[in-house]
Amino acid sequence: MSEVQPAREIDDEAALWAVRSDARELEPRTEAELAAWLAGDPRRQGAFLRAQAALSLVDRARALPSDALQPEPAAPALPRRALLAWGIGGAAAAMGGAAVLLNLRTEAFTTGLGEIRRAPLADGTQMILNTDSALKVQFTARRRQVDVLRGEAWFDVAHDLQRPFVVRAGGTRFEALGTAFSVRQRGERTDLQVTDGVVAASRSDSDQRAEVPAGHRLTIADGGQPFVVTPDPAAIRRSLAWRQGELVLDGETLAEAAAEFNRYNTLKIIVEDPELGAERLVGLFRTGDPESFVASVTTLLDAEVRREGETLRLWRP
């Protein structure tokens, strides 16, 4: 029979992990160690939540001089550990257990081809994922962080001055407070569209920075290209119609429209004629109905269509 770890020892270890995760971004190896520690005993998750919440409460109250709250490069100093010990036993209890409502875990969100998913987050932020997307969300007592690994998402951010909301994509960092915006990661390009408030953008590999207000777009290409900020509220509204499962065209080429439809469907549209692909279109379509779109194209542009398996091939005789 294995020996049961004392609760006080679990609280001490949780306090140390809270300081380590609060002081800096954990490396993958350290994240794995933390995950293994949490999995080792069902009581540890609760202890870690209480330690994180107590740390946040103490920092906000500024109960001690600032030098007692500075993160150490190695193991935390004794004053910090003693402070946390008080926080776990006193502050968390005074909060009436509210600390357990904080989501301090890393969560993964994904969507399949053609899927649009609404995912409210623990802080009240509303997140909508577009087709074929993958995101990692990590909340702590000090920050809210989302990594866009693939695809696109729109965020209506809950206001919290104590915990900045940061989205990272393709080497770019977007920080917002009480803001609504979308981020799309595609290859070496990252697109930001702001629908409310202001988003601060910065690159990790350069000193480039920009503040992007509502109604503006920011396009970022890897390789040190300058930020390009443009005002275009109408285009942003059209671009974000995917949240309702719609695709709005207002002067895009047939080739561009086909590429957008292909993002959502296994039935792919191939435009074989370059001249036909350069034709510009206006209209409102459902993202999941490429056949109706192709039917409209054949009538409007005097084109022909041939279906081959999961492909619709368009050309002009």
Mean pLDDT value of segment 292-313:
96
Q: Return d(Cα 75, Cα 199) in angstroms, integer.
A: 35
* Mean pLDDT, all residues of the chain: 82
Q: Which of 45-49, 77-81, 311-315 has the highest average model confidence (pLDDT)?
A: 311-315
List, in order of start, the domains of the chain with CATH numbers: 7-101 (no CATH), 106-236 (2.60.120.1440), 245-315 (3.55.50.30)
Partners of 230 in the β-ladder: 217
- Percentage of the chain beyond pLDDT 70 is 79
Q: Which residue shows structure tokens 């997140």?
A: 127
User: How many C-beta atoms surround the C-beta of residue 50 within 10 A?
Assistant: 26
More confident residue, 148 or 70: 148
pLDDT over 60 (residue 86): no
Q: Which of 20-34, 82-96, 97-111, 270-284 has the highest average model confidence (pLDDT)?
A: 270-284
- Place 224 in a pLDDT band, splitting at 50, 70 and 90: low
Q: Give pLDDT tens digits for 241-296.
A: 999 999 999 999 999 999 999 999 999 999 999 999 999 999 999 999 999 999 99
Q: Give pLDDT tens digits for 2-31.
A: 567 777 778 778 877 777 776 555 666 677
pTM score of the predicted model: 0.68
What confidence score (pLDDT) does residue 109 get?
Answer: 96
More confident residue, 214 or 47: 214
What confidence score (pLDDT) does residue 153 get?
Answer: 98
Q: Which residue shows structure tokens 């949780």?
A: 14
